[in-house]
Amino acid sequence: MEKYIIDGGVKLKGKIRAQSAKNAVLPLLAASILTDEQVKIRNMPVINDVENMLRILSEVGCKIKRQKDCAVIDSSNAVSHEIPARLTKELRSSVFMLGSVLTRFHRAKISYPGGCDIGLRPIDLHLAGLKRLGVKIVEKDGYIHCEADRLIGGEILLDFPSVGATENIVLAAVRAEGITVIRNAAKEPEIIDLQNFLNAMGAKIRGAGGGTIVVEGVRRLHGVEYTPIGDRIEAGTYLIATATCGGEIEVQGVFPENIAALLHKLRENGCKIHIKNDKIYLTSDGNLKSVNLVETMPFPGFPTDMQAQYAALCCTARGSTLIVENLFETRYRYAAELKKMGADITVRDRSALIRGVERLHGACVTAGDLRGGAALVIACLKAEGRSNVMDISHIDRGYADFEGKLKRLGAKIRRVKG
């Protein structure tokens, strides 16, 4: 097991280019088995979730070649409709393989997906949508067995604009017979990226980014070379870190409108922000003021994946902030760790009241999930003295070279064996 050792109290300054978005790359990898031709994805982030998805593709028979920062997927010899349980338990996004494998083989077998322990995250919406396309589903002994001689387009109304369900239904509908209409679809930028990727392969999809997506089924898809969008959550993490610690940062490679909700809050906190094309410039004196309320919402609202990092900022801001988590049930596991550092946090159900303190002190804390782990690192960068962040494998799931990028900003952080 590895850990971070962090000496806090240093301001950050420098430039960061965002990696390709984890939440965009994973469904693109799942979509790669929809064609017999090669798919090349550029600017592939070296993170554990991507490596696990590539292992799943290998297990079903795809050939994977790594070329510098690219991955080439050849699924012409893919033969298996079973997605290995030992890998799905490590990766929540393995559920995207359900729609793709169904399209390719007309049947699929998958165990319930894993990932971070941040709530129940049921896949009922995924399964209900697939049933509307003619899929027969049997749940038995912890596995989901799906079968469909023919996938047939249909009308689907999602009870909640789930990102995963929207993407899974699109992947199943792209080669279905007829037209599929998905209403109350998720509007996240990663949905648009999946549409653009599939359309570049010959699909006929429109409406992504809005509440209604229309998929006109096609008979076949062809290979493609594609560069995914930049990671708005990674970009937001570095912006929050710099805002918290004080300093100056230029983040490149992310569309500012994709993190507009965060930028609005950071301005309210007292940060100065300038935007030019895909560059975001932020300056902070580290002496921030609190905002009254932050509620996580589906896009374009404040993203749940930046809630924990923003909470770390609130710990030393003047005043109090109430954070309300509307998407996941158990996303405050980091709060007990922040309290070890002197933070004043009261958690009740889905709400956390954070009263800003004058300073945090170094401590030994443990990452319990991906974004909570990033929040602990931000707090340790702000704190006085030395901190240890344990179990950083969670952080490796979503951030490529996290400590390397922070070092380039001036942070005193190093990775060592635990």
Phi first, then psi: what are they for 107, rounded to 5°? Answer: -160, 160
- Alpha-carbon span 57 to 69, nearest angstrom: 18
pLDDT tens for each residue of 209-225: 999 999 999 999 999 99
Q: Which of 238, 240, 351, 258 is nearest to 299 (CA)?
A: 258
Predicted local distance difference test score (pLDDT) of residue 151: 95
Active-site position among 62, 70, 116, 271: 116
Predicted local distance difference test score (pLDDT) of residue 118: 38
pLDDT tens for each residue of 167-199: 999 999 999 999 999 999 999 999 999 999 999
Q: Is the pLDDT of residue 16 over 50?
A: yes
Predicted local distance difference test score (pLDDT) of residue 119: 41
Q: Is the pLDDT of residue 202 over 90?
A: yes
Q: Is the pLDDT of residue 365 over 80?
A: yes
Read off the pLDDT of each residue in 345-356 and give the average, rounded to a whole number.
Answer: 96
Predicted local distance difference test score (pLDDT) of residue 87: 65
- Look at residue 335 and give its three-state secondary structure: helix
Element (H, E) at 126: helix 124-132
Q: Is the pLDDT of residue 405 over 50?
A: yes
- List of domains in the chain: 2-19+230-417 (3.65.10.10), 22-226 (3.65.10.10)
Read off the pLDDT of each residue in 26-35 and give the average, rounded to a whole number.
Answer: 95
Q: Which of 54, 60, 61, 63 is nearest to 26 (CA)?
A: 54
364 tagged catalytic:
no
Lowest mean pLDDT among 89-103, 172-186, 229-243, 394-408: 89-103
> Encoding tokens for residue 25?
């790359």
pLDDT tens for each residue of 319-331: 999 999 998 877 8
- Alpha-carbon span 165 to 95, nearest angstrom: 9
